[in-house]
Structure 1
Amino acid sequence: MQTGAHDRILAAIRAIPRGQVAGYGEVARRAGLPGRARMVARLLSHNDDRRLPWHRVLRSDGRIAFPADSPQFAEQVQRLRTEGVRVEGGRVRGIRAAPTLDEQVWGTPG
């Protein structure tokens, strides 16, 4: 991964306020890398900076990406709840990850 892209993604994650969340795609857009949600996920999967607020990054539908029976899932839920975020059944409630560009243009499906 390019160092500049890496740094922009990390900066976008660090900019998510306490008690808020953003989807992988939204983080990519904020980093100037629209359409690169998988790049964000890949960077987070190799992250070893414990100060990075990785727990604020979710799937676009508000779900936690880790398997429900994993230690990472439990840690993410605990971290979010510590910040006052409501998590039920592996999904953040009450706040929604920012809409995708398609959702902004065409509206949410259903």
Structure 2
Amino acid sequence: MHCQRRPALDRRHQPGRLPARTGPDPRPVVPGPAHRSETGLLLLHDLRDLRDLHDLYLGAAGNSLYGEMLARAAQAAREERLLEPASFCHPRTLRQMRWANSPIKNQSPQILTSR
């Protein structure tokens, strides 16, 4: 199951700690005026951090959905061996979603309304 095979993700994405970047950002930088201010660069960096949290949240939501479908199928087929991993991973997936959602709620109003 996903949460058993990827223990490194659990250590990297701990509450209160943002995920570390592992290389150059593949998203293109939007060209702007030559006199771009430091504030604009900080805003761009903050927006990228929000996008990373957004991607993490959506990944956890997808895993939650797959776990729920697996659990329902296991119940319908009366397969206890499939129900156990789904039941084990689902609470952790919900915790990941809550963890990613919290900084999104806190940071997005400040970032999106700054100039």
The reply to whether TM is greater than 0.5 is no
Q: Radius of gyration: which is bigger?
A: 2
More RCO (CA 8 Å, sep 6+)? 2
Specify which structure has the higher proportion of helix: 2
